[in-house]
Amino acid sequence: MLTKQEVDQYIRLTLKQWGQAHLRIEWFESERTLGLACVYQNKIKLNVLILKRFSLFDEVLKHEIAHFLTFESNGKKFLRKNNRWQLHGADFKAQCRRMKIPARTRIPA
């Protein structure tokens, strides 16, 4: 298990690395969701369950950052296709490749 200090330091460094140091982090507990990118509030919500494994923590954090990078690269909006939001579309997948994480919709806990 990671310490609070290790988690905070890793988050700060990772956000800075991807040009997202302005984002806030909030923690929550849920059985269904591991993370959320709240682009209009400039925050990432992370489930405390992801702290059980560093690889899970790292992937979820970077997955949510990828949503912000995609949002910004598309002019601060999400793209639509066939009247549906493309939250995990081609642009998101390209960001994930750039960040060297899997481009998946659901991350297994």
Tens digit of pLDDT for each residue in 19-77? 999 999 999 999 999 999 999 999 999 999 999 999 999 999 999 999 999 999 877 76
| pLDDT confidence of residue 109 | 84
Instruction: State the Cα–Cα distance between residues 13 and 56, nearest whole angstrom.
Output: 17
CATH among 3.30.2010.10, 3.40.50.10420, 3.40.50.880, 1.50.10.10 for 4-99: 3.30.2010.10
Per-residue confidence (pLDDT) for residue 81, from 0 to 100: 63
Task: Look at residue 83 in the predicted model and tell me its pLDDT.
Answer: 59
pLDDT single digits (tens) 73-104: 877 766 666 655 668 888 999 999 999 999 99
Q: Residue 42 in contact with residue 22, Cβ under 8 Å?
A: yes
pLDDT of residue 35: 97
